[in-house]
């Protein structure tokens, strides 16, 4: 009996391994292969849709985290390492994460969701800037319009295109000449110009500021400030619209809802409106719905200033557009009931009839400029707190509407069967083309040019076919000047590219700014004004032989 009990005693368990088994390495290899597929863009055929760079980065992070958790899970639950060793490793990892969270914050992210970290005790850079005041030597002086003015968002026609001057792009032989460079408050606003004056919006601490500077020197001529601050991790800090200049008056919309009319020659506020308050919109609910701040620039007509509305209103609805008397600021009308996007309204002519063309959160619409009545609308997918629409539509000469965006939607061309009572339908859609995220498209001689998920691309308007794709510029901006494309890369570099469907041909490049740059370029004559959330600069660009500014 004793022998049987001894023979039947359980054998001691086999020791646990100190190195991971084969299945862990198979898991790591599978995750590594998936990561390579994601980074190489091979995921798109599998999921049946376009995946932009930001989504690829998120998926990559998830895959890397899964790989790390696979190894850690085996180490803690199955390995033969001592309990003390496991506690030390786990405690070290938890402590490292706790310390990182305690001392670091995400200051901002790039257009592809790559974070920039700062110590928590370091104030945002705009809070370290001194209060901006007008220079004693500066004077706004005459505000007479000139042919070379860049008076609003995306230039005189709002199309990111101007025909003159003729530039010399050989920037190695004739480099652009710096006129000035100075710090500026945060924000993604661009410059608008009138004569020798340039205006923009910026954030300094808790004040949203409209500032005017002399183009030749950069000296501040006047400022107007209002209490308000827009700040999100994904969208950054400060205002993001560009002022409009008309009849010697500067019209500016801030990220938090303020609309100003300012006399350009003196800096005196003619009138101002809090659009959210005027429309009965709850600011907190609006900030959640329009997560990256109000970005639409004012549309100025002979008698009105037209801006995006917003929502939700007190009754739970929305307002697509709001119009104010240009001279007094009194509200003239509201139009539409759709939530707004980040696109600026435009005045166009369809079938010989003037209309305000606007892009809402999930639709494109045309409104009567007299009373705001909505004339037509068609769907264009999006949400202003996620897959937002930021790119301006283009009305082509034949009455068709071109529009594009990122987030896997791409480009499309819409046409109406009847111009008298238009019902628009898609002529073509190309989800893989012109995935413009924060940027806009340039139209020239039957082709569209733009940054598609950070890569410059040319597409035929006839059928949406890609002509070429080349150059990685990040989520930057594009301006056509004659037969050249000026591309402001997200890194701050400015690149001159030939505006031709034949090929991607770089003609010149120079480092205009340092740091993340989402702001649009501005060209006044031969003077290029650029800025980002940290600095502004002005360069004189070389002209072709015989050309005039």
Two structure tokens written together for 83: 């309990």
Stretch (H or E) spanning 253: strand 249-253
What's the CA angle centered on 100, arms 98 and 104, to 5 degrees?
130
Question: Average pLDDT of 10-30?
Answer: 84
- How many contiguous H segments (helices) and E segments (strands) does the chain have? 8, 37
188-192, 349-353, 449-453: segment of lowest average pLDDT: 349-353
Cα separation, 543 vs 396, in Å, equals: 30
Per-residue pLDDT tens digits for 169-181: 999 999 999 999 9
SS3 422: coil
Amino acid 447: pLDDT? 98
Amino acid 138: pLDDT? 61
Confidence of residue 52 (pLDDT cuts 50, 70, 90): confident
Question: Average pLDDT of 250-264?
Answer: 97
Cα separation, 198 vs 215, in Å, equals: 6
57-71, 167-181, 365-379: segment of lowest average pLDDT: 57-71
CB contact at 8 A, 118 and 490:
no
Share of the chain above pLDDT 90, in %: 78
Report the chain's terminal Cα–Cα distance, integer Å.
111
Amino acid 45: pLDDT? 65
Half-sphere exposure of 393 (CA within 13 A, CB side): 27
Amino acid 180: pLDDT? 98
Per-residue pLDDT tens digits for 126-136: 999 988 876 65
Partnered with residue 192 across adjacent β-strands are: 199
The count of other CB atoms within 10 Å of the CB of residue 19 is 9
- Minimal CA–CA distance to 549: which of 140, 141, 147, 143? 147
10-19, 75-84, 227-236, 460-469: segment of lowest average pLDDT: 10-19
Stretch (H or E) spanning 32: helix 22-39
Two structure tokens written together for 274: 């809090």
Q: Are β-strands 161-162 and 477-481 bridged in parallel, bridged antiparallel, or unpaired?
A: parallel
**Sheet architecture: strand order including 353-359:** 346-350, 353-359, 363-367, 374-379
Please tell me the CATH superfamily of domain 155-540, with its number.
Answer: YVTN repeat-like/Quinoprotein amine dehydrogenase (2.130.10.10)
Amino acid 10: pLDDT? 61
Query: Looking at the predicted structure, is the pLDDT value of residue 48 above 60?
Result: no
Question: Average pLDDT of 221-234?
Answer: 94
Cα separation, 234 vs 353, in Å, equals: 40
Amino acid 111: pLDDT? 87
Domain boundaries, the chain: 15-104, 155-540
- Across all residues in the chain, what is the average pLDDT? 92
Give the C-alpha distances (Å, rounded to integers) separating 36 from 33, 39, 64, 295.
5, 5, 11, 36
- Minimal CA–CA distance to 45: which of 432, 405, 382, 430? 432
Per-residue pLDDT tens digits for 69-112: 999 998 888 888 999 998 999 999 999 999 999 999 988 888 88
Query: Looking at the predicted structure, is the pLDDT value of residue 40 above 90?
Result: no
The count of other CB atoms within 10 Å of the CB of residue 431 is 16
Query: Looking at the predicted structure, is the pLDDT value of residue 515 above 60?
Result: yes
Dmax (CA) for the chain in angstroms is 115
Question: Average pLDDT of 498-502?
Answer: 97
Residue position matching structure tokens 């370290």: 128
Share of the chain above pLDDT 70, in %: 95
Query: Looking at the predicted structure, is the pLDDT value of residue 18 above 90?
Result: no
232-236, 253-257, 536-540: segment of lowest average pLDDT: 232-236
pTM: 0.92
Query: Looking at the predicted structure, is the pLDDT value of residue 1 above 50?
Result: no
Query: Looking at the predicted structure, is the pLDDT value of residue 319 above 90?
Result: yes
- 121/315: higher pLDDT: 121
Which residues, 6 or more positions from 390, have their beta carbon under 8 angstroms from its beta carbon?
Answer: 295, 341, 342, 343, 405, 436, 437, 438, 439
- Minimal CA–CA distance to 217: which of 156, 139, 290? 139
3-state secondary structure 480-521: EECCEEEEECCCCEEEEEECCCCCCCEEEEEECCCCCCCCCC
């Amino acid at each position: 009996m004793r022998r049987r009990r001894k023979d039947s005693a359980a054998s001691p368990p086999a020791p646990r391994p100190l190195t991971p088994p084969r299945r862990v390495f198979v898991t790591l290899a599978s995750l590594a292969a998936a990561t390579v597929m994601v980074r190489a863009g091979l995921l798109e055929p599998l999921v049946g849709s376009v995946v932009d760079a930001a989504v690829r980065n998120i998926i990559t992070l998830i895959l890397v985290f899964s790989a790390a958790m696979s190894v850690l899970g085996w180490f803690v639950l199955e390995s033969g390492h001592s309990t003390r060793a496991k506690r030390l490793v786990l405690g070290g990892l938890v402590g490292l994460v706790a310390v990182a969270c305690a001392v670091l914050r995400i200051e901002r992210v790039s257009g592809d969701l790559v974070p920039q970290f700062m110590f928590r005790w370091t104030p945002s850079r705009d809070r370290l800037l001194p209060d901006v005041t007008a220079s004693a030597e500066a004077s706004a002086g005459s505000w007479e319009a000139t042919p070379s003015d860049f008076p609003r968002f995306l230039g005189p026609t709002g199309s990111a295109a101007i025909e003159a001057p003729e530039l010399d792009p050989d920037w190695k032989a004739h480099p652009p000449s710096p006129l000035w460079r100075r710090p500026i408050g945060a924000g993604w606003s661009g410059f608008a110009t009138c004569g020798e004056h340039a205006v923009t919006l910026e954030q300094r601490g808790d004040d949203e500021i409209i500032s005017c500077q002399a183009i030749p020197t950069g000296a501040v001529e006047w400022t107007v400030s209002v209490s308000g601050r827009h700040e999100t991790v994904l969208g950054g800090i400060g205002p993001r619209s560009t002022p409009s200049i008309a009849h010697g008056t500067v019209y500016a919309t801030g990220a938090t809802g303020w609309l100003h009319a300012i006399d350009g020659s003196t800096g005196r506020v003619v009138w101002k409106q809090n659009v959210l308050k005027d429309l009965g919109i709850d600011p907190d609910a609006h900030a959640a719905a329009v997560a990256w701040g109000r970005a639409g620039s004012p549309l100025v007509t002979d008698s009105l200033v037209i801006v995006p509305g917003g929502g939700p209103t007190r009754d739970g609805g929305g307002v697509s557009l709001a119009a104010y008397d240009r001279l007094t600021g009194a509200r003239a009308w509201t139009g539409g009931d759709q939530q707004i996007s980040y696109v600026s309204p435009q005045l166009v002519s369809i079938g010989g009839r003037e209309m305000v063309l606007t892009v809402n959160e999930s639709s494109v619409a045309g409104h009567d400029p007299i009373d705001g009545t909505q004339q037509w609308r068609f769907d264009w997918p999006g949400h202003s707190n996620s897959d937002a629409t930021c790119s301006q539509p283009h009305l082509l000469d034949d009455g068709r509407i071109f529009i594009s965006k990122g987030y896997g939607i791409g480009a499309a061309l819409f046409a109406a069967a009847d111009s008298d009572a238009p019902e628009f339908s898609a002529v073509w859609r190309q989800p893989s083309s012109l995935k413009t995220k924060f940027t806009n498209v340039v139209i020239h001689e039957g082709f569209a040019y733009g940054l598609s998920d950070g890569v410059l691309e040319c597409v035929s308007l006839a059928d949406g076919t890609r002509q070429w794709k080349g150059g990685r510029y990040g989520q930057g901006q594009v301006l056509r000047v004659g037969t050249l494309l000026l591309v402001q890369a997200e890194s701050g570099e400015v690149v001159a590219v030939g505006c031709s469907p034949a090929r991607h041909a770089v003609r010149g490049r120079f480092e205009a700014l340092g740091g993340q740059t989402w702001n649009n370029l501005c060209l006044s004559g031969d003077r290029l004004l650029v800025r980002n959330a940290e600095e502004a600069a002005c360069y004189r660009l070389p002209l072709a032989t015989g050309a005039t500014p």
